[in-house]
Structure 1
Amino acid sequence: MKLNKHLLATGIMVANLFAGNAFGAVSEEEAAKLGDSLTPMGAEKAGNGNEIPAWDGGLATPPAGYKDDGVYVNPFLDEKRLFTIDQSNVEEYADKLSPGQIAMINRYSDYVIPVYKTHRSAVYPEKVMSDTVANATTTELIKDGNGLGNYETATPFPIPQNGLEAIWNHITRYRGGSIQRNSGQVAPTENGAYSVVKFQDELTWKTYLKDYEPGQAENVLFYFKQAITAPARLAGNVLLVHETIDQVKEPRSAWIYNAGQRRVRRAPQVAYDGPGTASDGLRTSDNFDMFNGAPDRYNWELVGKKEMYIPYNSYQLVDQDLNYDDIVRAGHINQELTRYELHRVWHVRATLKDGERHVYAKRDLYIDEDSWQASIIDHYDGRGELWRVAEAHSMQFYDQAIPWYAIETLYDLLSGRYLVLGLTNEEANPFTFDVERMSRDFTPAALRRAGTR
């Protein structure tokens, strides 16, 4: 793979080198590139002279036709497909695809990658970008990279020097200060039959709590609450997570309210390779949001930067004129509804440490340079065989200045099954931003109040 030599020359380390000391902040001279040759988030501002344009501020204005109602119209609806990657030409484009993408194309004759014009639509609120610039010279990795020092909000390492910094950028990226999402999850059988599990998720960064005070819950990053609303046999079960910054010092705290038993209990299994909620065994807890949680079980290598065809500007997948039957197919989602563009990504490789346990022995992550969102992750089992392929179909929430996911997919190459998370086409009020929450809303006692039966 061809590395970006310019960025390597500016101090990128292609290794995971830590000896327990603080590490991460860059010099004032290096940080001065942010907003100049680099965007405020650390991406290369210039294009590649061909398919990738220069970043010009992102999609900061809602397109004509948007009614400010959370129903996102597609600003690129009239654009024509440039070409399609399929079994007939996959080798021609193999250098811009992940091994997992190639495996999906080779396995399914109708798994195609429709390629469109590239739009660098990602942009964050001004405060998030200015806080990110400030973090460049102050935030450090501590505890062998398993925690952040001098950090409170925004992206910690806009100029990453190793794989751990890059993955922390994904984990901590801004997704709205306090947001509620109503969505569906499906796990189709091999023949495409499925039922929908519906969730109401709440995600609130501690600094956005109405009663937040500086120094409060010092090691907490954010609060997450997830209630199952359907089917009836699962409805009323609620998960609560206090996500910590240093999960080695203080592991993630999680509780589950079981509606049938009408009681709250601790949930230490909601971490690492514990089973994902109602996922039919098709994902681990740390597969949610592509990757989440403590990074301490892996060695993280920053392999470099490359150009790849990744899912992007995926507005068709949130079109409320579609229903779930239009999207869900046997083996994979309806790829004719997807959109891929050529973007630069950071390639980060996670390799399981000696003596640690996880069902995934290796992960190859491809993280979008403009948003710090993981776009594609290839997962390998203990034998070194490619096992699962995750794709995040991203979009820009242009009324909120938030890049996020339309849906996430996780394909199991061994079983022939897959999982789709975040479906919203059939949901009323799928996204609510700026939800007002107090710290008391994210206590174990609040779980009991949230139970519906």
Structure 2
Amino acid sequence: MKQRIALTLGVACMAYAALASAKVGPDEAGKLGKDLTPVGAEKAGNADGSIPAWEPAPKHGNLSGEFPHDEKIDAEKPKFTINKGNLAQYEAKLTEGHKFLLKTYDSYKMNVYPTHRQVDYPAEVKEATVKNAGTCEMIGTDTLDNCKLGFPFPIPKTGAEPIWNHKLKFRGDYAKRYNNQMIVQRDGQFVLTKIIEDAAFYYGSPSKQVPLTKDSGEFLRYLSRTIAPPRLAGTFILVHEKAGTGEAGRAAWLYTPALKRIRRAPTVCCDNPYEGTDGHQFYDQVDMFNGSLERYNWKLVGKKEIYIPYDSNKIAGNTIKYKDLVRPKHLNQDLPRYELHRVWVVEANIKQGTSHTFGKRVMYLDEDSWNIVAEDDYDNRGQLMQFHEGHLVVAYNIQAASTVPEVIYHFNSGRYFITAAFNEDKPYDLSVKYNDDYFNASSVQKMTTK
């Protein structure tokens, strides 16, 4: 009997080892802060100098009331423009989505500017990231253990690890943002949806430093309130975001004025359409990608130099109106800024026995910030059906980076969807604070009566 128990335990231990990603050794971890930045990017530029060495910018600016801006960068002129006529010259450094847009629309172009690598993070986040390299592990694709505050996998070995770096990136302690959304028709017409979002970050918060372990996985709380148009106004979505799957994973609630009560909402997941987007954004496309990884096999393809949206202060700022940003079939491409950067390329292929509208997803993550900045999405026949583009801005006021706005191009309909725009409202407010119970279902129910 003892032998059988011992054998069973041995098999269980081997299964655990097979599922857990390995920590990097001391020699590899020792590269962080030397050849690599403290969060895992290559410090040096590329061979021809078109990508410069990392030069982090100092922290500056107020926590509220400031739109993204950098006077020096914003005054620069394009180095060159990529269009349908010269596509062949540059296509090796383009996503499939950008190539599709350039081939399909004569009016689509990409203005390429000098590259800057100024993203930095607070000292506590960088120090914690270095420690995580030798302690943090992943069990399967959705459970993390021995991870604290910093990026969990600065030297990734599997495809799921960079995605967790994106999901757990530092964003401060709390945030309030105005999220304006537009479904843009082929003729350029759109209706504005206005959402106010509140968030509390637990894992990536220097003041909280809530660790992730195999037994405890909550890392953020999120509440959205739709305020326009009238047919959607009064809708609330509450999420407790957790590492793990099933009952151990995400907990979500939905309130709609028609029902007049808040209820658990397991459908706030995966490729279910986000409320009010008419199917133009799935729940797992919020913030480029979020939620469970369990439906896919994740492959780390490697690094590549490509042109990506970067230092996009102009289209995120308050000098541009939505009518100036929107054009038929695609954004007004006079406005976005593209730079050459190194990215991590991750490929996700649907697991047998599971389902998702996307059979394959190819994601591109900026090496300096771990933000997903672009995603090629394929249907289950292998055809490119969507392209998701995040325009990255550097938040000097908290030392971080994020993508605003984000655009999802629907190639089957010719429409596109803009989200996370706040040009005509207020910028992020990172000075706010919330009590934990603000993000409870009972508290949200009370808000609906005000």
- Please, what TM-score do these two structures have when normalized by structure 1? 0.91
- Offset at residue 59 of structure 1 (A): 2.6
Which residue pairs with 2:415 in the alignment? 417
Q: Deviations over 1:402-452 (max 9, x none)?
A: 10112100001111001001111110x321104211211111112112326
Letter of the structure 1 residue corresponding to residue 186 of structure 2: E
Provide the rounded CA distance (Å) in 2 between the counterparts of 1:210 and 1:37: 29
Structure 1 residue 154: Cα displacement:
2.3
Aligned with 1:93: secondary structure? Answer: helix
Superposition map of 1:377-392 within 5 A: 377-392=375-390
Distance in 2, Cα, partners of 1:226 & 1:442: 10
SS at match of 2:19: coil
Secondary structure of the residue aligned to 1:447 is helix
Matches within 5 A, 1:242-321: 242-248=240-246, 250-321=248-319
Q: Which has the larger displacement, 376-385 or 126-135?
A: 126-135
CA distance in 2, matches of 1:213, 1:160: 22
Q: Which runs of 5+ in 2 are unaligned?
A: 1-14
- Say what the alpha-carbon RMSD is for the aligned residues: 2.2
Classify the secondary structure of the residue corresponding to 2:327: coil
Aligned residues: 432
**Is 1:80–2:87 an aligned residue pair?**
no
Could you say which residue in structure 1 is the equivalent of 2:9? none
Counterpart selection for 1:119 from 116, 119, 122: 116
Q: Distance in 2 between matches of 1:374 and 1:409?
A: 13
Asked whether the 8 Å contact 1:259–1:452 carries over to 2, the reply is no
Give 3-state SS (helix, strand or coil) of 1:440's partner: helix
The counterpart of 2:196, out of the listed 200, 214, 219, is 200
Change in Cα spacing, 1:213 to 1:392, as seen in structure 2 (3 Å) is closer
Q: Which amino acid aligns with 2:78?
A: R
Q: Residue in 2 aligned with 1:333?
A: 331
Q: Among the aligned pairs, what percent are the same residue?
A: 38
Instruction: Give the SS at the match of 2:84.
Output: coil
Q: Write out aligned runs for 1:60-209 (5 A).
A: 60-62=58-60, 69-75=65-71, 76-142=73-139, 144-206=140-202
Kindly provide the CA deviation profile for residues 197-249 of structure 1, in whole angstroms up to 9, marking residues without a partner as x. 01111121225599998899932111111111111221111100011111246
Give SS of 1:53's match: coil
Aligned equivalent of 2:220: 222
Seen in structure 2, the aligned counterparts of structure 1 residues 425 and 215 have a Cα distance that, compared at 3 Å, is closer
Determine whether 1:436 maps to 2:416: no
Post-superposition offset of 1:277 = 2.5
Distance 2:208 2:52 in 1: 43
User: Aligned in 2, Cα 1:117/1:211: closer, same or farther, shift over 3 Å?
Assistant: closer
Are 1:236 and 1:452, in contact at CA under 8 Å, matched by a contact in 2?
A: no
- Asked if structure 2 preserves the Cα contact closer than 8 Å seen for 1:371 and 1:403, the reply is yes
Residue type matched to 1:258 in 2? T
One-letter code aligned to 1:52:
I
Residue 121 of structure 1 deviates from its aligned partner by 1.9
Aligned-partner residue type, residue 228 of structure 2? A
| Aligned-residue offset at 1:385 | 0.2
Q: CA deviation at 1:329?
A: 1.2
Assess, with a 3 A threshold, how the Cα gap between structure 1 residues 20 and 276 changes in structure 2: closer, same or farther: farther
Q: 2:52 aligned with 1:53, yes or no? A: yes
Q: Secondary structure at the match of 1:136?
A: helix
Q: Any conservation in 1 of the 2:68–2:393 contact (CA below 8 Å)?
A: no
CA–CA separation in structure 2 for the residues paired with 1:215 and 1:306: 30
Question: Where is the helix percentage greater, Structure 1 or Structure 2?
Answer: 2
8 A Cα contact 2:212 2:219, kept in partner = no
Paired residues of 1:136 and 1:159 also in contact (CA < 8 A): yes
Task: Please give the secondary structure, in 2, of the residue aligned with 1:291.
Answer: coil
| Distance of 2:350 and 2:373 partners within structure 1 | 21
The alignment's TM-score, normalised by the length of structure 2, stands at 0.91
Residue 22 of structure 1 aligns with an amino acid whose one-letter code is: A
CA distance in 1, matches of 2:22, 2:443: 37
The one-letter code matched in structure 2 to 1:112 is: K
Amino acid at match of 1:130: E
The answer to whether the 8 Å contact 1:59/1:396 transfers is: no
SS of 2:125's equivalent in the other structure is helix
Contact 1:210 1:437 in 2 (8 A): no
Aligned equivalents of 2:63 and 2:222: distance in 1? 29
**Unmatched 5+ stretches in structure 1:** 1-16
Equivalent of 1:344 in 324, 339, 342: 342
Q: Is the 8 A contact 1:312 1:339 kept in 2?
A: yes
